[in-house]
Amino acid sequence: MGFLKILLRWVLTTFAISVASYLLPFIEISGSTPIRRIQIAFLAGLILGIVNLIIKPIVRFLTMPINFLTLGLFNIVINAAMLWIVDYFVDGFEVLGIWGYIWSSLLISIITVVLTKIFLYEKGNKKSNELKE
């Protein structure tokens, strides 16, 4: 994955966190100035990206049996736990209550997936396109 794709994913995650904090009463980005709130949102996006890259795969592997039994619904709890980790490490970023973590993680996930499909969608596979010609 190129540097620009990583940077774009970070910006999209930050945007999703900002939108969620605007739409939901559970999630709050506090800062004395708008620039400080933007900095906190970017830091939260960075930490969430790192947590999703390093910790989330391990947790998903360890909870595979319960995830199988719940038909994948346990992923919602895993996403909420990843958001809790971000809340713990980022000052100025706060999520209120367990339902806040669940609803916030759902909204952030939905926004991020939609934006990633819009901005990072690669049409077809290069090798399969070369074989057709």
Sign of CA dihedral 58, 95, 49, 72: positive
What number of CA atoms fall less than 13 Å from residue 118's CA on the CB side? 7
Q: What is the pLDDT confidence band of residue 19, given thresholds at 50, 70 and 90?
A: very high
> What one-character DSSP code corresponds to residue 120?
S
Asked whether 80 and 105 are in contact (CB, 8 A), the reply is yes
Confidence at 3, pLDDT banded by 50, 70, 90: confident
DSSP state letter for 121? -
Please name every residue paired with 94 in a beta bridge, in sequence order, or none if there are none: 28
Mean pLDDT value of segment 64-83 = 95
Structure tokens at 100: 């806040």
Side chain identity, residue 83: L
DSSP state of 84: H
Cβ atoms within 10 Å of 51's Cβ, excluding its own = 18
Question: What H or E segment, with its residue span, contains residue 5?
Answer: helix 3-23
Query: Is pTM beyond 0.75 here?
Result: yes
What would the pLDDT profile of 87-122 be if each residue is shown by its tens digit?
999 999 999 999 999 999 999 999 999 999 998 887
86 CB-near residues (< 8 Å, 6+ apart): 44, 47, 48, 51, 93
CA–CA distance, 98 with 44 (Å, rounded to integer): 18
